[in-house]
Amino acid sequence: MAPSTSIDGEDFREPMKEAEKGVARAQRFMIHTPIRFRHLGCEAWHSGMTENISDSGVLFSTSEALPPRTRLEMQFVPVEGKVMGEFPAEVQCKGEVVRIVPASTAASASVLAAKIDHYRLVRRKGAGEDAVH
């Protein structure tokens, strides 16, 4: 199990570093799901859509162009609907932008790559109802 860290009074797990897993690069999963994110410590949330997710990071498109090293708080549910009769857990994580592909036109979205430093899973009781476990 990944080590746990307390940040601002909340427990977050640290993803395994790629070198610890003996793998050159984390496996990417092509998961397209809504993501909410904000600058760490800010109140305003922004939205985007994930393009792929791994245990070490997330690639997502958004209308917000954030520079590398921007510290983020991110939330997403990798699977929508019920799985084996239960709603899937929401991933709440903290990390930072490591790469950006700026939008080519005003109507297109930027693509951000963010590494995940710490995460936790929040079990959802029902659609829109959350319970931390």
Domains of the chain, by residue range, sit at 4-131
Tokens of residue 63, six digits: 């209308």
Task: Identify the CATH class of 4-131.
Answer: mainly beta
Residues 60, 46 contacting (CB under 8 angstroms)? no
Q: Answer whether residue 74 shows pLDDT above 90.
A: yes
Q: Give yes or no for a contact between 43 and 27, defined as CB atoms under 8 angstroms apart.
A: no
Q: Which residues are registered as beta bridge partners of 15? A: none
For residue 130, what pLDDT is reported?
47
Measured in Å, how far apart are the chain's first and last C-alpha atoms? 16
pLDDT digits (tens, 9 = 90+) for 89-105: 899 999 999 999 887 77
Predicted confidence at residue 132, as pLDDT, reads: 45
Evaluate if pTM is beyond 0.75: no
> How does DSSP assign 24-78, residue by residue?
SSPPPB----EEEEEETT-S--EEEEEEEE-SSEEEEEES----TT-EEEEEE-S
Tell me, rounded to whole angstroms, the distance of Cα 105 from its chain centroid: 25
* Joined tokens for residue 19: 């070198």
